[in-house]
Structure 1
């Protein structure tokens, strides 16, 4: 065992996991004890609980794959129903429901958004339909023009511009990240944050506790607060069994003065800028938004911040006013997350609608390809309609088991005419889609169950913006250095096939 793993085991995280496992053993032990003391009552109770669990799963609103997985689990006596009760469905407390309603009442779309949408409806009904669907699912999302967007084809190029923008901050800096790790990238950013905090700039940082469990000390927020940075953990790990731990904050957002925002696949760690090498060349991407659309980023960050902190304040105090820019096209920042926080799978639906509306081509990059039946069928149907559908995944994986499942999806897609590529130089982590040279998405949302069903995510939908030209250029460069996969080149052993089938079966609940 490495020193880092031993340190993690002996930390508060190891302690919390130990307590949670003990809670599970106590619950199961009580059921077994009841079975010995009153076997008839125990049998009746097990049957009733199992039936109630099965009825609940069948009638619950969830995708078919998740139902099948949970039904299989529910048929395991005692263990299955208890597992579903504890982890199957997240329920909001009254306090959380009250906070959500309060936040939603504070988010009002601007008058000019209605004018933009009506104008788009006249010009392009397909694009209007995609955007209308998005706005109906995500109350924070809105349509913006007068916004400049700049696409970055690598983490290192985006990092350099981030540093320049951070140095110019005058009012506030907000950061929300899944992974932060000490090194060249984070230390260079932290130095500027400290300087700005000393100058009176408000600095708020939110990072995922589980995402940073192996990269930051458990008391790192205390260290940051001592430097003038208001830092907090998202879903802080405590010794308590809760389904909320499965809903991680996978977003990557940086906001400067409510004027400039960054998002994409890039976390704040050195592999993302290729300062260190882990899986060959780390291919990532991101986007810089400057202008009116940053208002949506600011609202999104503050909503997450308030819910995590258990406090609500007026958004207006955070200087939502910003200077519009002369950027062309429309920009729609949006977010996605688990039920019941979000009523629909926003990320999946946006992808599906864009694919369904495509007429010429759809290009996709994703590090993981574990899509559900509906999304897979949309991809296949687009190819069957004659759309040039291309998906690029990594050649060198960060998780070998997940690559097995990803490659397991190839034959079905290839049979429909979808073209599959693997990025030869290393690990491709960017999450982007380009459709017909007119619409694109850049963000944090992978084509897998975790991103589409369980995680808190975010992205930007772009329509006829200048940055789409750069995104198309990036895809052309990716295709040049990637190896196309053909049916006869796919080779897997029986052992690999077995592992793939097992992981695929339980993917919806992992």
Structure 2
């Protein structure tokens, strides 16, 4: 029943319902229900017209504008309604006010150490420029003296996380897109309950839509009764949620301000391969950091918490002051992206890395549903001699999105890009690696959802400990994946050359 509801209420089905409603209005016209039809149709068409004008006026990517304008004009009666719900046109005043208040606190608490910035610039000016972009547009400083550990699978991530949670003495912050009852989450919850009883402050944020079919109703109230402070982010209220498209897709854990985690891994049993919903294996990635850079994650979590439940202005009491600097290589810069500004930080980080790559760019992504700028950047990198490789799933979790992903293969392969499908099953990792020294690991998919609609986060790494392990994992993944050829694409002509381009018209909704 739960799986049926998930499928029945996803964005594709909702879009199909809107199309059916459009047809229904035409039937009403045929049946000469003119008095009702004319007035309602006028209002809806006016809304669609206003939506198109607004889209053209906004300083957005032209490809995104076109992808919205086409379905709105194709279905003018309900196109405007569709954009109102999925295009985050209206930001409620309460949410906007809380964002402005929390942004001021972020700026106050996240301050760049100028010596670290100068040191990075002396090492590599191009990397310093990328880091400076994140400081200017995401508001997050770069740090040294921070150890990083990359996890190529969900199971070692989970096991290490459990051990770190057991050591917590002061506070634990957790933020996840998906929570699902089962072995993975229950083990974490048991420790959280026990720590809360010991006097450790425990806070949890989960996305209400991401977990809506996986948790009991009003689960946040159940968690509160266990002594854990809990927020269900942007709660889904049917017919009233005008920002339901903007989800908290981040995965963050902070323990005592000393240790932080992020990556693609949610709290559900498939992420540790205790369940196998798509193929024989679910591959995901995570990263653990320890040191000064954890402060970025602490502030990022508190910002999201205060957006939902404003509780404090003193972030400083959650900052850990290390007595001795950690002896760790490289630079670490946790960063965030929000859908409520005009800066597409997540995509721009990827574009900058691809554009500056000299030898190779390796990419993990579960979805390749992106704009012309990204496709062009990948092709140009390959054409100038960079070894560009992308790993996508061998078994899909969403078929329409999978077909749309595959529709990009031929164009990229013809430019020399290597496309690999993960044969054992589904890959959910979101990682980019360049030239043995630059990487990012986080929550940001190569799709419109992550680039334009979700709250996201990642860790930007330069010459850090985790990079070597990430490269080893990627090389091993290529070895067990199928390299896609032009012949493979031609054998799937209908899916790639007919179905795919049609789906691209509706790509913002997928």
For residues 6 and 93 of structure 1, the distance between their equivalents in structure 2, rounded to whole angstroms, comes to 28
Q: Deviations over 1:332-386 (max 9, x none)?
A: 0001121x2x331110000000100001100001111112111111111100110
Measured in 2, the distance between the counterparts of 1:308 and 1:163 equals 27
TM-score, length of structure 1 as denominator length: 0.89
Aligned residue in 1 for 2:330: 329
Q: Which runs of 5+ in 2 are unaligned?
A: none
The Cα offsets for residues 210-234 of structure 1, whole Å up to 9 and x where unpaired, read as: 1111111112222212211111201
Determine if contact 1:8/1:214 at 8 Å carries over to the other structure: no
Instruction: Output the CA distance in 2 between the equivalents of 1:373 and 1:382.
Output: 14
- How far is 1:502 from its partner? 2.8
Structure 2 counterpart of 1:505: 505
CA drift of 1:499 comes to 3.4
Query: SS where residue 246 of structure 1 aligns?
Result: coil
Q: 1:58 maps to which residue? A: 56
- Once the 2 structures are TM-superposed, how far is the Cα of residue 94 of structure 1 from its aligned partner? 3.9
1:142 is the counterpart of 2:141: yes
Structure 2 length-normalised TM: 0.89
- Distance change >3 Å, CA 39–CA 262, structure 1 → 2: closer
Contact 2:299-2:315 at 8 Å conserved across structures = yes
Which residue is 1:117 aligned to? 117
Q: CA deviation at 1:402?
A: 1.7
Q: Which stretch has the larger CA shift, 110-119 or 416-425?
A: 110-119
CA distance in 2, matches of 1:464, 1:479: 23
Residue number in structure 2 paired with 1:71? 69
Q: Deviations over 1:398-456 (max 9, x none)?
A: 12222111111100101111111111111111111100111000111111111111111
8 Å CA contact retained: 1:88, 1:243: no
Go from structure 1 to structure 2 and tell me whether the alpha carbon gap of 1:380 and 1:302 turns closer, same or farther (over 3 Å shift).
same
RMSD, matched Cα: 2.9
What is aligned with 1:159?
A: 158
> 3-state SS of the aligned residue for 2:79?
helix
Aligned-partner Cα distance in 2 for 1:38–1:469: 66
Q: 1:191 to 1:78 in 2, by over 3 A?
A: same
Q: How far did residue 40 of structure 1 move?
A: 8.7
Change (3 A) 1:223 1:486: same
Q: For structure 1, which segment, 237-246 or 436-445, has the greater mean C-alpha deviation from structure 2 after superposition?
A: 237-246
Measure, in 2, the Cα distance between the counterparts of 1:488 and 1:470: 33
- Once the two structures are overlaid, the 10-residue window that deviates more, 79-88 or 435-444, is 79-88
SS in structure 2 of the partner of residue 244 of structure 1 = coil
Which digits, 9 at most, give the CA deviation of each residue in 1:262-290, with x for residues without a partner? 11111111111111222211111111100
Q: Is the 8 A contact 2:369 2:404 kept in 1?
A: yes
Question: Which residue in 2 is equivalent to 1:425?
Answer: 424
What is the distance in 2 between the residues matched to 1:42 and 1:430?
46
Counterpart-to-counterpart distance in 1, 2:93 and 2:359: 48
Q: Whole-Å Cα distance in 2 between the matches of residues 38 and 213 of structure 1?
A: 36
The 5 Å alignment of 1:196-235 reads 196-235=195-234
Distance 2:5 2:104 in 1: 47
Paired position in structure 1 for 2:387: 388
Name which of structure 1's ranges 182-191 and 296-305 shifts more when overlaid on structure 2.
182-191
**Residues 42-75 of structure 1: per-residue CA shift (max 9 Å, x gap):** 8987776555443322111211122112222332
**In the superposition, relative to structure 1, how do residues 228 and 437 fare at CA in structure 2: closer, same or farther (>3 Å)?**
same
8 Å CA contact retained: 1:66, 1:509: no
CA distance in structure 2 between the partners assigned to 1:97 and 1:220 by the alignment: 26
Count of matched residue positions in the alignment of Structure 1 and Structure 2: 494
Confirm or deny: 8 A CA contact 2:370 2:447 kept in the other structure.
yes
SS at 2:113 equivalent: helix
The answer to whether the Cα contact below 8 Å between 1:165 and 1:256 also exists between their aligned partners in 2 is yes
Instruction: Measure, in 2, the Cα distance between the counterparts of 1:185 and 1:360.
Output: 39
User: C-alpha distance in 2, partners of 1:195/1:45?
Assistant: 56
Q: What is the distance in 2 between the residues matched to 1:74 and 1:145?
A: 48
Structure 1 residue 496 displacement after superposition:
6.6
Q: Give per-residue Cα distances to partners, 1:458-502, cap 9 Å, x unaligned.
A: 110000011111111111111111111111122225367543233
Please state how far the C-alpha of 1:5 moved relative to its aligned partner.
Answer: 4.5
**Correspondence for 1:299:** 299
| Distance in structure 1 (CA, Å) of the matches to 2:347 and 2:275 | 32
Query: Mind listing any 5+ residue stretches in structure 1 that lack a counterpart?
Result: none
2:119 pairs with 1:128: no
Taking a change above 3 Å as real, the CA distance of residues 89 and 125 of structure 1, as seen in their structure-2 partners, is: same
